[in-house]
Structure 1
């Protein structure tokens, strides 16, 4: 079967309401396993051994009004988070 991905989009000039968007900078570090976690499961020590320190990251955005969603959620492509993501 041929599965096609459906894309939902809208233009800002088609919206008859005020919309406020905030774009920020995301920063962070990959958290290390704590001592208690390592004592409970010693194999977690090797969990990130063959992975880089960088984290895969993506964002899902929804536009809502009150409790109702105005459109389908939009998801960014996966990116590697080195130190910050703009």
Structure 2
């Protein structure tokens, strides 16, 4: 049986599509205009990568977050307070 070569770019595109599909499904579980934000919401809000928000939560820096089921979320008011604090200290 011949081995099929798969283009690495195609593999990355498929992986990204799967991540996006999973994130969209998870986001649909929260009501629109929810007071809770996930890392992708924060990325859109600030331009800081979602992975950075998750890393900050992991090491205990950044705004307070918590697990809601299997998802890490941030309260919108806490994020806005933290961002204002960052801006004031700059």
State the TM-score, normalized to the length of structure 2: 0.22
Instruction: Mark the structure with the bigger radius of gyration.
Output: 1
**More strand by percentage:** 1
State the TM-score, normalized to the length of structure 1: 0.22
**More helix by percentage:** 2
